[in-house]
Chains A and B, each alone.
Chain A
């Protein structure tokens, strides 16, 4: 087991209140699951028949309550699906994605024996899967007793679903019920391993729970300081073993039974169970504090970066407009939605200009407004709120000069565990999750004024490593292009858009490894001229943009292929793959796709191959098409590629035979004229025409637009 090794902050205290959703019957156990809390309750009577006797008996079911946006817990309801039965169901846990639940229940083989009502039935661990908001039974834990001779229960899944903790009175333990764990290896749980004598006693240990720092919480009735059932915590050492468990202080523990400790991830809140207020077990919600820093100020760093947009300007259905945002620091940024970062505190102004490229007139100018970036009066943390497990988390505390802080008191905590000191903080997370980062400090005291405690808090999220870091996200660029497309006869046609992994003049092998690693099923389609390998298709350009952006953000170097006219329709040939990929595949898969994009001139050029990674100077290629309606395509490409006036670009015009040379050159000149109309400087446009035998005979002329373009490659 590998956990972050951290120290528990000193002077911790707890505030405890009875859960508002307790019933008059027993309510206990439970686990936090998003904004929900799932727990065991005997609030519903069950009628059950033992041989000829019919009695009413209180068995426990799993109930769910939800913390609503007003901060109130809603009325509990029994969880939906097959999990709750006429017998007992209790203590559950969830996988990271929330789709699989492990829970405690009476063993089926025990029930089938139908002994009598005084009999105690053995418990086991079962799993259920979520389908359409209902929990459907899946299977029994393989280490449940096959003959009901012992119980397993109180499962808890930790460490990114790789660790299952549970309690069991199976033979071979230290006495009574012990805590065990299994590791997920080779798609199965390993044989249970006993936590050993540091944790387990000759009595009973139940309800294991591990927080994000590897601290083990559990319930025991037989430690030397136990008063009935009590809750203990054990810190993990660097070698993976545990320090001697410590009984948690009041009010977590009391003179009565206290058990089933759990926390909500990324917070200082949790829940325990206790019978301190009567015969029945009840749930108690707690908040954990460091005594000196009970009330933290929310981190409020100054914003230097802003997204500027026009809310009146929809992406859909608009015509070619050029938005230019002008700032008084000298910057001008083009786009209907732009990101601008200022360098310092201060007063800034900005204005928006909108140019109609159809009329070559400014629609609107000089809507000047102001932004004030003020210096904060309180300390603030400079740290992005989202990180991945592969990154080192770095943060810096910024202290206004007016505040006199004793920097030796600066202390960084994650979920109340001290993880660093000083003005800067570095941490390498092992596991994903939500954490509350606090920076605690004290002001310098004087003879008359005692030091004041200051605490700044900032939630941070650690995500599993993914391909996100390798491919920067793409902000969708609005396509300035009319929705209505007409063919040469003036009839309205409905363009079809495809998002393709790649395209080729030849059909690719069905056993090509890239299909197995595709994000979803891949359709091979053809228009009799070429083959495209499609993962999404749509009639709506706005859908296309979002899907294109989503796939690019996931790391797939997808292309947009457009069927513009009724005589250029792609038909499905076959399905190449039908299984979903895994997160692990994604990284390598995206690389495969990147190379899979056809840049070989012997085949069709890609429709849109915009490599936006910042590390290498991208060469963007747009296949303009040969249909007479290439005017629209040029505008479309210019809009999608965000061609700038100063950008050097090259028009390559290839033709299938020499007699097409003049026509090809004429077309290239026409495209040049179009680009000039789109404000590209004439001197920035190069033209190359060349004979290429690989151009399909029926195609005759192929037009390609490339940028950026340097004179060294100019033909």
Chain B
């Protein structure tokens, strides 16, 4: 397992997106904040870095609303409470969601030096993260907040062992509990996110925001070829329940986002989260636990009288 660009290659998501807090939610960001967690194996001893690609909000990639006027703050947290604080793993930036020890922070505006370039947080000693047995290693948290303006900041992360290069951290992974991301313009591209379903999950409820009725969102797995879910329109939420099959437990689901090829929406951003039957959020790992789920048919051959 090698982490990790975020979004990862298999997710086929072009960018994460966070809008300035003055933007309307109809742009596709419900809360102007996005939290990601990085997991480092407990026996990994090298310093690690968290790099942010295109952290500014101007120039290439970003979504302009009139003139660029947005400020985006990236903050890295570790230490006690980084993930164990219950507010850290919610969908909304409320309460003590900035829990843990602040290890680094930087606010970006429209400076061209970071446009289409990288900014590096670190080095961090892996033990600066919060040791979590639940998530299997040291956990770092990075929060991206749109603190000013109304533009969309499109960015990526990379967990690396080098301050200037993207060298994956062996055994590392990244995950979030609510994904806010940009879809491809090309309607023939399909994006994926991979919620992990543990043994106690019986059913899940998916929620999506501002899909703009732009095609299909479907759940695929080892046991489901594809089941479409309720989809949202402009600036609203939609949800539906999916019953978990026995063969899907202990594996990841593949949530696929396929745009409508005839009425595709440009610059579509979407928010997505999944809860289990107890209302607990399921983590989306950028490198799916158990690998990408591949549908396994149950072929049945029934003899017929001629």
* B295–A354 CB distance below 8 A: yes
**CB of B120 closer than 8 Å to a CB of A:** no
* A384–B230 CB distance below 8 A: no
**Contacts A312-B224, A363-B225, A631-B262 given; does A339 touch B298 at CB 8 Å:** no
Q: Tell me the complex Cα distance, A360–B294, Å.
A: 16
Q: Which residues of B contact A312 (CB under 8 A)?
A: 223-225, 295-298
Q: Tell me the complex Cα distance, A318–B295, Å.
A: 14
* A307–B213 CB distance below 8 A: no
* B227–A371 CB distance below 8 A: no
* B297–A484 CB distance below 8 A: no
* B299–A308 CB distance below 8 A: yes
Q: Which residues of B contact A371 (CB under 8 A)?
A: 301
Q: Which residues of A contact B294 (CB under 8 A)?
A: 364
**Contacts A306-B303, A339-B304, A384-B306 given; does A354 touch B297 at CB 8 Å:** yes
Q: Of B190, B226, B299, B305, which is within 8 A of A310 by CB?
A: B299
Q: Of A317, A318, A364, A384, which is within 8 A of B305 by CB?
A: A384
Residue of A with least CB distance to B297? A310
Q: Tell me the complex Cα distance, A215–B31, Å.
A: 87
**Binary contact track B193-228/A, C-beta < 8 Å → 1, others 0:** 000000000000000000001011010100111111
**Contacts A363-B225, A364-B294, A364-B295 given; does A305 touch B304 at CB 8 Å:** yes
Q: Tell me the complex Cα distance, A142–B296, Å.
A: 67
Q: Which residues of A contact B188 (CB under 8 A)?
A: 359-360
Q: Which residues of B contact A356 (CB under 8 A)?
A: 226
List CB contacts (< 8 Å) of A355-382 with chain B.
Answer: 356, 358-361, 363-364, 367, 369, 371, 382
Residue of B with least CB distance to A489? B233
Q: Tell me the complex Cα distance, A360–B259, Å.
A: 12
Contact residues on B (Cβ < 8 Å of other chain), bracket: 35 or more
**Binary contact track B243-277/A, C-beta < 8 Å → 1, others 0:** 00000000000001010011100000000000000
**CB of A268 closer than 8 Å to a CB of B:** no
**CB of B300 closer than 8 Å to a CB of A:** yes
* B300–A385 CB distance below 8 A: no
Q: Of B216, B224, B256, B303, which is within 8 A of A305 by CB?
A: B303
Residue of A with least CB distance to B294? A364
Task: Looking at the assembled complex, report how far the CB atom of B187 sits from the nearest CB atom of chain A, in whole angstroms.
Answer: 10
Task: Looking at the assembled complex, report how far the CB atom of A317 sits from the nearest CB atom of chain B, in whole angstroms.
Answer: 6
Q: Which residues of B contact A674 (CB under 8 A)?
A: 262
**Contacts A318-B227, A360-B188, A384-B305 given; does A367 touch B299 at CB 8 Å:** yes
Q: Which residues of B contact A313 (CB under 8 A)?
A: 225, 297
Task: Looking at the assembled complex, report how far the CB atom of B236 sits from the nearest CB atom of chain A, in whole angstroms.
Answer: 8
* A490–B233 CB distance below 8 A: yes
Task: Looking at the assembled complex, report how far the CB atom of B302 sits from the nearest CB atom of chain A, in whole angstroms.
Answer: 4
Q: Which residues of B contact A317 (CB under 8 A)?
A: 227-228
Q: Which residues of B contact A354 (CB under 8 A)?
A: 225, 295, 297
* B306–A304 CB distance below 8 A: yes
* B297–A321 CB distance below 8 A: no
List CB contacts (< 8 Å) of A46-64 with chain B.
Answer: none
**CB of B231 closer than 8 Å to a CB of A:** yes
**CB of B128 closer than 8 Å to a CB of A:** no
Residue of A with least CB distance to B261? A677
Task: Looking at the assembled complex, report how far the CB atom of B288 sits from the nearest CB atom of chain A, in whole angstroms.
Answer: 16
Q: Which residues of B contact A305 (CB under 8 A)?
A: 303-306
Q: Which residues of B contact A319 (CB under 8 A)?
A: 216, 218, 226-228
**CB of A683 closer than 8 Å to a CB of B:** no
* A341–B306 CB distance below 8 A: yes
Q: Which residues of A contact B215 (CB under 8 A)?
A: 358
List CB contacts (< 8 Å) of A526-573 with chain B.
Answer: none
**Contacts A321-B225, A677-B261 given; does A311 touch B298 at CB 8 Å:** yes
Task: Looking at the assembled complex, report how far the CB atom of A308 sits from the nearest CB atom of chain B, in whole angstroms.
Answer: 6
* A482–B216 CB distance below 8 A: yes
**CB of B92 closer than 8 Å to a CB of A:** no
Q: Tell me the complex Cα distance, A1–B166, Å.
A: 95
* B304–A311 CB distance below 8 A: no
Task: Looking at the assembled complex, report how far the CB atom of A680 sits from the nearest CB atom of chain B, in whole angstroms.
Answer: 15
Residue of A with least CB distance to B298? A311
Task: Looking at the assembled complex, report how far the CB atom of A654 sits from the nearest CB atom of chain B, in whole angstroms.
Answer: 22
Q: Which residues of B contact A341 (CB under 8 A)?
A: 306
**CB of B87 closer than 8 Å to a CB of A:** no
* A309–B300 CB distance below 8 A: yes
Task: Looking at the assembled complex, report how far the CB atom of B52 sits from the nearest CB atom of chain A, in whole angstroms.
Answer: 30
**Binary contact track A282-324/B, C-beta < 8 Å → 1, others 0:** 0000000000000000000001111111111100011101000
Q: Which residues of B contact A360 (CB under 8 A)?
A: 188
Q: Tell me the complex Cα distance, A670–B299, Å.
A: 37
**CB of B115 closer than 8 Å to a CB of A:** no
Q: Of B226, B230, B262, which is within 8 A of A321 by CB?
A: B226
Task: Looking at the assembled complex, report how far the CB atom of A380 sits from the nearest CB atom of chain B, in whole angstroms.
Answer: 12
**CB of A398 closer than 8 Å to a CB of B:** no
Residue of A with least CB distance to B229? A484
* A490–B301 CB distance below 8 A: no
Q: Tell me the complex Cα distance, A363–B216, Å.
A: 16
Task: Looking at the assembled complex, report how far the CB atom of A212 sits from the nearest CB atom of chain B, in whole angstroms.
Answer: 22
Q: Tell me the complex Cα distance, A382–B226, Å.
A: 42
Q: Tell me the complex Cα distance, A484–B232, Å.
A: 11
**Contacts A307-B301, A311-B300 given; does A363 touch B226 at CB 8 Å:** yes
* A359–B224 CB distance below 8 A: no
Residues of A within 8 A of B (CB): 303-313, 317-319, 321, 339, 341, 352, 354, 356, 358-361, 363-364, 367, 369, 371, 382, 384-385, 482-484, 486, 490, 631, 670, 674, 677
User: What 7 A-B pairs come out closest when comparing CB atoms?
Assistant: A303-B303, A490-B233, A311-B298, A310-B297, A305-B304, A307-B302, A482-B228
A and B contact pairs by CB, cutoff 8 A, 25 listed: A303-B305, A303-B306, A304-B306, A308-B299, A308-B301, A310-B299, A312-B224, A312-B296, A313-B297, A318-B226, A319-B226, A319-B227, A354-B295, A356-B226, A359-B188, A359-B258, A363-B295, A364-B295, A364-B296, A367-B296, A367-B299, A382-B306, A482-B216, A490-B233, A631-B263
Q: Given contacts A309-B300, A318-B228, A483-B228, list 9 more A-B pairs with CB under 8 A.
A: A303-B306, A305-B303, A305-B304, A307-B301, A312-B224, A317-B228, A318-B225, A319-B226, A384-B305
